[in-house]
Amino acid sequence: GCLLADWNVTPTIHRPCEYARGMLHLRSGPGGLDLSAEMLMEDYVLGTSEMPYAWSPEALQAQAIASRSYGLARQLERGDPASNSCDGWCHVKDSIADQRYVGWGHGNTAPWVSAVQATAGQIVSHPGAPNEIVTAYFSSSSGGMTENIEEKFGGSAKPYLVSVDDSVAVNGTVVNPKASWLTPISHATVAGALQLTGVRRLGIA
Condensed to tens digits (0 to 9), the pLDDT of residues 16-52 reads: 557 788 888 887 766 677 778 889 999 999 999 888 8
Cα distance between residue 146 and residue 166, in whole Å? 7
Mean pLDDT of 87-108: 81
Q: How far apart (Å, rounded) are the C-alpha atoms in residues 91 and 3?
A: 6
Residues 6 or more apart whose CB falls under 8 angstroms from that of 76 comprise 130, 131, 133
Q: Is the pLDDT of residue 122 over 90?
A: yes
**Helix axis angle, 110-118 to 57-78, nearest 10°:** 60
Q: Between 68 and 185, where is the model more confident?
A: 68
